[in-house]
Amino acid sequence: MAKAYVLIVNESGTEDSVISNLNTIETVKEAHGTFGSYDILTKLESNDEQKIQKDISNKIRKIQNIRSTLTLLVNEKENFRKTNKSEKEILEKYLAQAFVIIHCNRSQESNVLQNLKDIPEVIEADILVGSYEIICKIVAPTYNEISDVVSKKIRKLGNIKSTITLNVVEKQGFSK
């Protein structure tokens, strides 16, 4: 299964419209409004990697009010998910959530990924191809606790150079 994340910067106040358009694209499995450097985070999945690439180029980038995008391709060799679909739905409904993009030391992605598995709040993670090495999804009761997980657990792991945290806006987005 091919997978990619697309981070989107859109015109201010147009998040709901952009997310609505994203929901019509078959390969887009999740889209969330976020606080931080990007306005929306999308997750695409398909059995056909070229379909994902075409949807990014021909559909996502052509949505009105999108100013810029950053595509993060997933290296399918290593990833993990701690929760099944029903557990994930419950966690997303009752807890604060965020995606953390991690830049780590060269060739240390697998070690960092293994260490992330020991952090209970990390419910899934993927190794990326390109400028960043890992993206992970975390959940906690509050956004203050999300901040603590990032600063006191994730950033304390060895081989991490930097992180970008994108807190998910509650009730702005979808999961298919």
Q: What is the pLDDT of residues 101-160, one digit of tens each?
A: 999 998 899 999 999 999 999 999 999 998 899 999 999 999 999 999 999 999 999 999
Q: What is the pLDDT of residues 77-95, one digit of tens each?
A: 777 777 777 777 777 776 8
Res 66: pLDDT: 97
pLDDT band for position 55 (cuts 50, 70, 90):
very high
pTM of the model: 0.90
SS3 state at 55: helix
Give the CATH class of 2-74: alpha beta
Q: Which residues contact 163 (CB under 8 A, 6 or more apart)?
A: 100, 101, 102, 103, 150, 154, 155
Q: Is the pLDDT of residue 11 over 90?
A: yes
In percent, the amount of the chain with pLDDT more than 90 equals 80
| Fold annotation for 76-175 | Alpha-Beta Plaits (3.30.70)
Q: Which residues contact 62 (CB under 8 A, 6 or more apart)?
A: none
- All CATH 3.30.70.920 domain ranges in the chain, comma separated: 2-74, 76-175
